[in-house]
Amino acid sequence: MTVAALLDRAKAQGVMIATAESCTGGMVAAALTDIPGSSAVVERGFVTYTNTAKQQMVEVRAETLAAHGAVSEQVAGEMAEGALRNSDAQLTVSVTGIAGPGGSEFKPEGRVCFGLAVEGAPTRTETVDFGALGREKVRQAARDHALELLSQGLFTIA
C-alpha cells in the first residue's frame, strides 16, 4: 500500500495515527506528512531519541530499559502503547533499532524492533535484522517497514 493509500484508508475509517520513533528519528512521521491532507490522519509524533525521552514522552519503564536495552521488543511495545495512551490516536507504531555504524548493547547493526498498538487490541511487536546495510539504508528500511505495519494495523481495525 502506498503512503497515500494508507492515509486515505485511515481517513475513511476515521483512524488517527501517532508515531514513536528512536532510530528513524522522525522519518516515519515525515513520510506520512509528505502527503497533502495528512493533517486529517496524523495526530502527533514522538521522537524519543534518548532513554529519558522514551521514559518521559511515552512512559517506557526504567526497569524495561535496564532489563532488555533500548533496542528490544519489550521497549518497542511500551513505546507504541505509551504513544497510544499519550495521544488522541487509535493506531500507533514504534521503531527502536541500531542504525549504525557498528552495533551496540551487544546487538548487531541493522537490528530494529517495532511495536504496533491498536486501541482495544493486543500490542504486536517484532524484530527485523536488516543487516549492516549502512545507516541510511537501515533507517529507510525501518521507515518503510513501520509504514507497512501501519497498513496492516488498519486492516485489523476494519
Partners of 112 in beta bridges:
97, 128
User: Would you call 17 exposed, middle or buried from its count of C-beta atoms within 10 A (0-12, 13-18, 19+)?
Assistant: buried
CA distance 42 to 38: 6
Counting residues that bind a copy of itself (by CB under 8 A) gives 35
How far are the Cα atoms of 25, 45, 53, 77, 132 from residue 21, in angstroms, in the given order? 6, 8, 11, 12, 20
Cell of 122: 493486543
Whichever of 89 and 118 has its CB closer to a copy of itself, that residue is 89
Q: To the nearest whole angstrom, how small is the minimum distance from the Cβ of residue 122 to a copy of itself?
A: 26
Whichever of 19 and 94 has its CB closer to a copy of itself, that residue is 19
Q: To the nearest whole angstrom, how small is the minimum distance from the Cβ of residue 129 to a copy of itself?
A: 19
Options 21-29, 72-80, 124-132, 147-155: segment touching a copy of itself (CB under 8 A)? 21-29
**Interface positions, 65-84, toward a copy of itself (CB under 8 A):** none
Options 1-9, 44-52, 115-123, 146-154: segment touching a copy of itself (CB under 8 A)? 44-52
50 binds a copy of itself (CB under 8 A): yes
SS3 for 50? Answer: coil
